[in-house]
């Protein structure tokens, strides 16, 4: 090794740890002028023997796909996107060679998920305007609300649903905030000015440590106005040590269920942050993807992974004091693991945790937004028992900084070991959405579902969303549905 | 001399902070021995979140970092920059050995 090689080696070794401090954020949505969306299935890399084709495009914010008992394909369009873009939530039937047919539409998006069961569709209505609902939609488009009044005005909405063999609709409700404290980041999301009294509600009674958080007050015209806010409290309302927050159902950060015929809502498990995807595994267990904390707001958290949980009835999964079953506050073992560089470690909020959180089934990359999931049951498709998960992709810089784009692909997960492997990715030297790498492949996968035969995996691709310090800008008409299958003889 | 150093510095930064792209559909699946397979499980528990498949993400790429494994071990134990420390109480020495064996396998494939 000559002196130049020695110096190069030393410099690279020394500079690698400093990358985070030296580099700006390079999220997948950080694009000034995204390329217009073109589709080229050849730009998507898959394991040998698999092929991908385009089922539908020009959709606006598609979120989920399902199949009826005739095998027809249906997709929900959200009707709302981050960036405060409101539209019409719709249930569409997709048939080859035909324009999408509107089965039903609403006015209280986002419609985040759909499943078909017993001759009808069941939709999770996020309801940022009027509250979350679980809807039953007949084939003729008639809509009946089975559940109403879900606390869904905040950062995260009503999600799911998945229907169990027990005849219950399982659905989830995300939290109002990043880490239980309403702050200026919620004004940037858009909802704080619409619903200034809204905050997180726990499912069971909780006692607080009394930690409060000072912030600017975006609800007044005085730019120097400051206020203090406690957890599980409306913006500008401080908490007291030992204060009991009354729990109730329905609540935030929870998986709940209701009978298919309708009835009272029951709590299944709680302490999640944003349990977006729900699916039953071949062994009958319910799994949920959970979007981890962001580096934003009055109680920012650094390096929190998205999680795949095996949902155990009655369990508490750790939000807002744990991430991945590890404490995010200063702890004898984990120290300041989740401290944002240059800031204080997030203080503990709960005087006593309800219980010890279970261990995760798998951990996804920080900020990847692990969303819809399904399990392979087909030996023809392969990977039987593994979870396939859509990674929407980072929304940096608003969720925190990333050095490279994270997500924008479909992965498969061995739920026993937690090992995950890329399944569908864009061909490029760097990871990222098609709009950033200027390809014709995946943009933002948000849901995956196997068709009734199990031989094809449908991938719902939300479309182009650009993100900057100033705004989140989703692009209507750029959503697609892809199909991945293993052609015979391959 | 100054110019050479500047070029080396910028080049080093590019390598150190590069993407380290590695993905099974592009590169094929890793061929691992028993120790590396154990390390792969530990990698997904402790490292994958910030260095997905050894690529850059929240943190820098591991795949393209030429630091010797002994230096990586030191960084895991002590933490550096934005990376927290993982003491023996979190990752025992035997586990760290397996984890580093997997990191080495990732680097070998990315060459």
B57 Cβ under 8 Å from any chain A Cβ? yes
Determine which of A4, A13, A16, A360 to mutate to test the interface with B (most B C-beta atoms within 10 Å): A16
pLDDT at B11: 52
| Candidates B9, B49, B71; nearest CB to A13 | B71
Among A80, A72, A32, CA closest to A466: A32
Predicted confidence band at B20 (pLDDT cuts at 50, 70, 90)? confident
A382 Cβ under 8 Å from any chain B Cβ? no
DSSP assignment, residue B77? Answer: H
Measured in angstroms, the CA of B2 and the nearest CA of chain A are apart by 13
Predicted confidence band at B5 (pLDDT cuts at 50, 70, 90)? low
The average pLDDT across A325-344 equals 96
Q: How far apart are CA A428 and CA A384, in angstroms?
A: 29
Q: Are strands A445-450 and A472-474 parallel, antiparallel or unpaired?
A: unpaired
Q: Do A425 and B26 touch (CB under 8 A)?
A: yes
Question: Domain B2-110 is in which class?
Answer: mainly alpha
The average pLDDT across A152-163 equals 98
**Bridge partners for A135 per DSSP:** A123, A145
Percent above pLDDT 70 for chain A: 96
Residues of chain B in contact with residue A365, where contact means CB-CB under 8 angstroms, are: 48-50, 52, 57-58
- The mean predicted confidence, pLDDT, of chain A is 95
**Bridge partners for A467 per DSSP:** A472
Q: Do A367 and B9 touch (CB under 8 A)?
A: no
Say if residues A161 and A284 touch (Cβ distance below 8 Å).
Answer: no
pLDDT 10s digits, A21-52: 778 999 999 998 776 789 999 999 999 999 99
Residue A15 has pLDDT above 70, yes or no: no
Among A472, A392, A394, CA closest to A185: A472
User: Could you tell me which residue, B17 or A357, shows the higher pLDDT?
Assistant: A357
Tell me what ipTM this predicted complex has: 0.94
Measured in angstroms, the CA of A189 and the nearest CA of chain B are apart by 23
pLDDT at B1: 54
pLDDT at A33: 77
Residue A397 has pLDDT above 70, yes or no: yes
DSSP string, A363-428: EEPTT--EEEEEE---TTT--TT-EEEEE----TTTT---SS----EEEEE-TTT--EEEEEEE-S
Say if residues A480 and A57 touch (Cβ distance below 8 Å).
Answer: yes
Q: What are the two backbone dihedrals, phi and then psi, of residue A162, each rounded to the nearest 5 degrees?
A: -135, 140
Helix, strand, or coil (residue A172): strand
Residues of chain A in contact with residue B69, where contact means CB-CB under 8 angstroms, are: none
Q: Do A363 and B48 touch (CB under 8 A)?
A: yes
Among A108, A115, A114, CA closest to A132: A108
B92 Cβ under 8 Å from any chain A Cβ? no
Q: How far apart are CA A50 and CA A34, in angstroms?
A: 29
Structural domains of chain A in order of their starting residue, each with its CATH number:
23-485 (2.120.10.30)
B78 Cβ under 8 Å from any chain A Cβ? no
| Candidates A16, A362, A421; nearest CB to B24 | A421
Single pTM value for the model = 0.95
DSSP assignment, residue A304? Answer: P
Residue A5 has pLDDT above 60, yes or no: no
Predicted confidence band at A403 (pLDDT cuts at 50, 70, 90)? very high
Residues of chain A in contact with residue B16, where contact means CB-CB under 8 angstroms, are: 11-13, 15-16, 18-19
A47 Cβ under 8 Å from any chain B Cβ? yes
pLDDT at B13: 54
Q: Do A364 and B25 touch (CB under 8 A)?
A: no
Q: Do A8 and B8 touch (CB under 8 A)?
A: yes
Q: How far apart are CA A344 and CA A420, in angstroms?
A: 32
| Candidates B25, B48, B66; nearest CB to A13 | B66
Measured in angstroms, the CA of A302 and the nearest CA of chain B are apart by 9
The average pLDDT across A396-418 equals 97
| Candidates A46, A403, A419; nearest CB to B60 | A403
Residue B53 has pLDDT above 60, yes or no: yes
Residue A208 has pLDDT above 90, yes or no: yes
In this structure, of A345-359, A387-401, A442-456, B9-23, the range with the lowest mean pLDDT score is: B9-23
pLDDT 10s digits, A46-65: 999 999 999 999 999 999 99
| Candidates A7, A406, A427; nearest CB to B52 | A406
DSSP string, A277-316: EEEE-TTS-EEEEEPPP-S-STT--SSPPEEEEE--TT-B
The average pLDDT across A416-430 equals 97
Residue B4 has pLDDT above 70, yes or no: no
A393 Cβ under 8 Å from any chain B Cβ? no
| Candidates B16, B41, B55; nearest CB to A417 | B41
């Amino acid at each position: 090794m000559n002196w130049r090689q020695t110096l190069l080696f030393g410099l690279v070794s020394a500079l690698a740890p400093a990358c985070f401090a030296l580099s700006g954020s390079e999220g997948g949505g950080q694009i000034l002028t995204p390329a217009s969306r073109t589709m080229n299935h050849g730009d998507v890399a898959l394991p040998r023997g698999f092929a991908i084709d385009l089922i539908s495009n020009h959709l606006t914010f598609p979120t989920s796909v399902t199949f009826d008992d005739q095998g027809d394909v249906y997709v929900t369009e959200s009707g709302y996107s981050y960036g405060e873009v409101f539209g019409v939530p719709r249930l569409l039937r997709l048939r080859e060679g035909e324009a999408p047919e509107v089965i039903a539409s609403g006015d209280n998006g986002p419609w985040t998920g759909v499943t078909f069961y017993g001759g009808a569709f069941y939709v999770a209505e996020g309801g940022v305007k009027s509250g979350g609902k679980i809807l039953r939609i007949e084939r003729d488009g008639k809509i009946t609300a089975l559940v109403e009044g879900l606390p869904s005005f905040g950062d995260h909405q009503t999600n799911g649903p998945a229907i169990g063999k027990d005849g219950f609709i399982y659905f989830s409700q995300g939290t109002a905030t990043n880490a239980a404290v309403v702050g200026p980041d919620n004004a940037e999301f858009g909802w704080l000015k619409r619903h200034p009294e809204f905050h997180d509600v726990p499912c069971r009674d909780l006692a607080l440590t009394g930690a409060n958080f000072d912030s600017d007050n975006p609800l007044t015209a005085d730019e120097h106005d400051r206020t203090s806010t406690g957890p599980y409290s409306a913006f500008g309302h401080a908490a007291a040590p030992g204060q009991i927050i009354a729990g109730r159902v329905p609540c935030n950060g929870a998986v709940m269920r209701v009978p298919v015929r309708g009835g009272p809502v029951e709590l299944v498990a709680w302490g999640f942050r944003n349990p977006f995807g729900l699916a039953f595994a071949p062994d009958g267990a319910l799994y949920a993807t959970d979007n981890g904390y962001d580096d934003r707001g009055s109680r920012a958290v650094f390096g929190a992974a998205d999680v795949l949980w095996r949902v155990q009835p009655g369990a508490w999964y750790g939000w807002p004091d744990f991430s991945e079953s590890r404490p995010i506050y200063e702890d004898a073992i984990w120290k300041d693991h989740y401290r944002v560089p240059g800031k204080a470690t997030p203080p503990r909020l709960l005087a006593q945790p309800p219980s010890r959180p279970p261990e995760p089934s798998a951990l996804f990359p920080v900020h990847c937004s692990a969303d819809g999931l399904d399990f392979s049951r087909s030996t023809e498709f392969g990977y039987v028992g593994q979870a396939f998960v859509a990674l929407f992709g980072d929304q940096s810089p608003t969720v925190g900084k990333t050095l490279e784009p994270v997500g924008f692909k479909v992965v498969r997960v061995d739920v026993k070991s937690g090992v995950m492997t890329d399944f569908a990715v864009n061909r490029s030297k760097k990871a990222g959405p098609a709009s950033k790498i200027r390809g014709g492949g995946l943009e933002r996968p948000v849901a995956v579902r196997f068709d009734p035969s199990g031989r094809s995996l449908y991938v719902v691709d939300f479309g182009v969303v650009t993100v900057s310090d100033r705004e989140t800008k989703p692009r209507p008409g750029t959503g697609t549905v892809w199909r991945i299958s293993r052609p015979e003889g391959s | 001399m100054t110019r050479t150093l500047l070029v080396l510095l910028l080049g080093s930064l590019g390598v150190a902070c590069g993407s380290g792209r590695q993905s099974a559909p592009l590169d094929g699946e890793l061929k691992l021995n028993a120790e590396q397979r154990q390390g792969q499980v530990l990698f997904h528990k402790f490292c994958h979140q910030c260095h997905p498949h050894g690529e850059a993400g929240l943190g820098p790429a591991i795949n393209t970092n030429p630091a010797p494994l002994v230096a990586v071990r030191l960084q895991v134990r002590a933490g550096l920059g934005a990376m927290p420390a993982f003491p023996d109480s979190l990752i025992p020495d035997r586990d760290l050995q397996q984890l580093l064996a997997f990191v080495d396998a990732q680097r070998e494939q990315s060459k």
